[in-house]
Amino acid sequence: MKNNSVHLIGTLTRDIELSKNSKGNSFVRFSLACIRDNKPFTDFINCIAFGEVANALCNIFIVLPEQLL
């Protein structure tokens, strides 16, 4: 069984929100602004990441934000 994957390149438009569900699993919500190729349009995409990916995103964007700016 293969998983689908999507690679988005964009700008974070709001802070990453770390949450836990009723079972204690981590997830994060964030939004990206992605500019379309050769078009003057911007798409705003709401994203959710779960588990280890969620924890990694929090470590990157919450713990070290001054190093990313």
pLDDT in tens, 9-62: 888 888 788 888 899 899 999 888 988 888 888 999 999 999 998 888 888 876
Task: Concatenate the DSSP letters of all residues of 21-59 into one string.
Answer: -TT--EEEEEEEEEEPTTSS-EEEEEEEEEHHHHHHHHH
Tens digits of residue pLDDT in 34-47: 888 888 889 999 99
1: in domain: no
Q: Is residue 47 within 8 Å of residue 16, measured between CB atoms? A: no
For the cut 50, the answer to whether the pLDDT of residue 67 exceeds it is: no
Q: For the chain, how many structural domains are there in total? A: 1
41: in domain: yes
Six-digit token string for 22: 């009723």
pTM of the model: 0.69
Tell me the CATH number at 48: 2.40.50.140
6: in domain: no
24: in domain: yes
3: in domain: no
Residue 51's domain comprises: 11-68
Q: Is residue 46 within 8 Å of residue 28, measured between CB atoms? A: no
